[in-house]
Amino acid sequence: MTKYSSSEFALFRQNTNPVKIVLDEEVINNWEGTFICFGSSDSNIKTFDIESLNENNLYSFEYGANGNRCFNINGEKYSIDQNGDVGILLRLNNPYHDGYKLFVCAGIGEWGTSGAAYYLFNNWRRLHKRFGSKTNFALAIKVDINSDESSRVIREYQV
């Protein structure tokens, strides 16, 4: 995930304004900037903070009827199964600082997380054309185990 982001940003960022990769503890209570979070709220504090925002009316990370973790997007639940993992790709406008964004690339398992990150960094131009810069959106991403490159959107939700 870090590989995807750092290689993509290296094409656009100057040495004078590099992208900072930080640990969760370094950004607790910090909202100034654009954040790209890797991992679900079970493992990433900033993802938990973003999921808890009132502005996040796109998805929730919860337990399904079978007791397993799932993403709930507008009443539809998505979880890992024998056909692969599932991830979420969220983009919210940062409610505390205009012009900044909040991204979450999270999976039920590790392949969902890495697949969501792969999808973001390989499709960010297309996503920008599709949603513009103001629309908040969440994408449910299906990923084959052991194959980030198999990432595909199975559900789109925007407000």
What is the tens place of the pLDDT at every residue in 82-116? 989 999 999 999 999 999 999 999 999 999 999 99
Do residues 117 and 38 make contact, with C-beta atoms less than 8 angstroms apart? yes
Alpha-carbon distance of 140 to 156, in angstroms, equals 6
- Only one residue has tokens 């290296």, namely 10
Look up residue 103 and give its two tokens: 């991204």
Residue 19 has pLDDT above 60, yes or no: yes
* pLDDT bracket for residue 12 (50, 70, 90): very low
Three-state DSSP state, 72? strand
Q: pLDDT tens digit string along 118-134?
A: 999 999 999 999 999 99
Model confidence, pTM: 0.87
Q: What is the pLDDT of residue 152?
A: 97
Q: pLDDT tens digit string along 22-34?
A: 677 777 788 999 9
Q: pLDDT tens digit string along 128-155?
A: 999 999 999 999 999 999 999 999 999 9
Q: What is the pLDDT of residue 11?
A: 47
Measured CA to CA in angstroms, residue 72 lies from 102, 109, 122, 124 at distances of: 19, 16, 24, 23
Q: What is the percentage of the chain residues whose pLDDT exceeds 70?
A: 86
Q: How many helices (H) and strands (E) does the chain have?
A: 3, 8
* Number of domains observed in the structure of the chain: 1
Alpha-carbon distance of 14 to 84, in angstroms, equals 38
Alpha-carbon distance of 119 to 143, in angstroms, equals 10
Which residues does 154 contact at the CB level (< 8 Å), separation at least 6?
Answer: 78, 86, 140, 141, 142
Alpha-carbon distance of 116 to 2, in angstroms, equals 12
Q: Domain range for residue 64?
A: 2-24+31-158
